[in-house]
Amino acid sequence: MTTKVSTFPLRLPNSLKAAVEKLAAADGTSMNQFLVMAAAEKLSAITTAEAIFAERKGRADRDAAIRFLTRRGGEPARADDELPDGA
C-alpha cells in the first residue's frame, strides 16, 4: 500500500530549525521524519484529550457538583473563587 504525500514550504525560526536538526540527528532520523512524527504525536494527543473530556462531560452531574461545592463544613471560598451569580 502506498501512502500519498503532499509537500509544502515550511518556515521555521532559525533557532527552532537548529533544535529540530539536532534532535533528529540524535534520533537517527531526517528532519522531515522528525517533524512528521511530531505532528502525528500532537494530533494523537489532541484527539485523545478531546475524546476523554467529551466522555467525562457526558458523565458530569452539575447538580451533584454544586451540592458538593456548597456542602456544610470545609473552608469558605477564597477571594475571587466564588461561584458566579445564578450558577
What's this model's pTM, rounded to 2 decimal places? 0.59
**33 Cβ neighbours under 8 A, 6+ residues apart:** 24
Q: Which domain holds residue 45?
A: 17-69
Residue 30, domain member (yes or no): yes
Cell numbers 528532519 correspond to 31
CB 51, CB 44: distance < 8 Å: no
Cα–Cα distance measured from residue 77 to residue 50, given in angstroms and rounded to the nearest whole number: 30
Least confident residue range of 6-10, 28-32, 65-69, 72-76: 72-76
What is residue 26's three-state secondary structure? helix
pLDDT digits (tens, 9 = 90+) for 46-60: 999 999 998 888 888
Number of domains comprising the chain:
1
Cell numbers 456542602 correspond to 71
